[in-house]
């Protein structure tokens, strides 16, 4: 493990679900708006539009930042929930909830410890402005914010994972991606990155615990970002 800890130079983190609790944060904000809908179901419906929207952008070979995709999906979800009367200014405000997501309780401590030894960056499909405001709001101590927007490709496109290595002029094997999603990690491994799985059993809410069983392909499996710091002697 010491050899690994020395070889890795850059720790890149998936953000939604891995560092911040999107489900709890969106549900809480929806609850405060008293819209008369199930806040958890609303959050899940909004997030469910995320992968298809990005896939469509990539298929078309265009580039649209996530703030704009979130807004398109929101309009549809409001319709589905019978809330088509919500004013545009309120929609804009609600859409920016993704800039205000709360970190998991261990995220700030874990990142701060890892930062003492590694260069830590985001690698998220969130746009740069979203990630910067989220970091400021949540106190995430990134050395550098990297986003799909830097590469004009959404994960799991290889340009995103390889883009991290290129940005810092290191080999892919000197970058480790930490994420709570096996698909993201698998795509990173296919590009030569090292991978660490972070358990986030309640990413989809307390009522819908996620399977967090280890996959052997991941070099590290951690119960939290603080646990990842422990694995890496930080």
Q: Which residues bind a second copy (CB under 8 A)?
A: 67, 119, 121, 127-129, 131-133, 135-136, 143-146, 150, 167-169
As measured in angstroms, the least distance from the Cβ of 19 to a second copy is: 16
Is residue 11 a contact partner of residue 121, using CB atoms and an 8 Å limit? Answer: yes
Q: In terms of CB distance, is 167 or 224 closer to a second copy?
A: 167
Q: In terms of CB distance, is 41 or 144 closer to a second copy?
A: 144
**CA nearest to 179, candidates 51, 14, 11:** 14
Is residue 16 a contact partner of residue 124, using CB atoms and an 8 Å limit? Answer: yes
The CA-atom distances, in angstroms, between 136 and each of 50, 109, 145, 200 are 24, 15, 11, 22
Q: In terms of CB distance, is 94 or 135 closer to a second copy?
A: 135
Contacts of 185 (CB under 8 A, 6+ apart): 177, 179, 195, 196, 197, 215, 217, 218
Is residue 178 a contact partner of residue 186, using CB atoms and an 8 Å limit? Answer: no
Q: In terms of CB distance, is 50 or 168 closer to a second copy?
A: 168
The CA-atom distances, in angstroms, between 166 and each of 10, 72, 171 are 11, 32, 8
As measured in angstroms, the least distance from the Cβ of 22 to a second copy is: 20
Q: In terms of CB distance, is 23 or 99 closer to a second copy?
A: 99
As measured in angstroms, the least distance from the Cβ of 91 to a second copy is: 14
Output the six-digit token pair for 159: 């340009």
As measured in angstroms, the least distance from the Cβ of 184 to a second copy is: 21
As measured in angstroms, the least distance from the Cβ of 193 to a second copy is: 16
């Amino acid at each position: 493990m010491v050899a690994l800890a020395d070889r890795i130079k850059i720790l890149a983190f998936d953000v939604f679900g891995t560092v911040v609790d999107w489900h709890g944060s969106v549900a809480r904000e929806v609850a405060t708006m008293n819209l008369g809908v199930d806040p958890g179901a609303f959050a899940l419906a909004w997030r469910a539009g995320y992968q298809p929207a990005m896939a469509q952008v990539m298929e078309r070979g265009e580039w649209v930042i996530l703030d704009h995709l979130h807004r398109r999906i929101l309009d549809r979800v409001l319709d589905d929930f019978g809330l088509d009367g919500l004013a545009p200014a309120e929609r804009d405000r609600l859409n920016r909830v993704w800039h205000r997501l709360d970190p998991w309780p261990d995220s700030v401590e874990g990142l701060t410890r890892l930062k003492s030894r590694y260069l830590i960056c985001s690698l998220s499909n969130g746009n740069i402005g979203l990630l910067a405001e989220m970091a400021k709001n949540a106190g995430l101590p990134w050395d550098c914010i990297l986003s799909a927007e830097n590469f004009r490709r959404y994960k799991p496109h290889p340009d995103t994972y390889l883009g991290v290595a290129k940005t810092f002029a290191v080999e892919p094997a000197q970058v480790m991606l930490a994420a709570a999603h096996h698909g993201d990690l698998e795509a990173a491994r296919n590009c030569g990155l090292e991978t660490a799985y972070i358990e986030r059993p309640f990413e989809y809410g307390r009522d819908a615990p996620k399977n967090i069983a280890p996959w052997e392909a991941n070099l590290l499996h951690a119960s939290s970002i603080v646990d990842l710091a422990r694995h890496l002697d930080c």
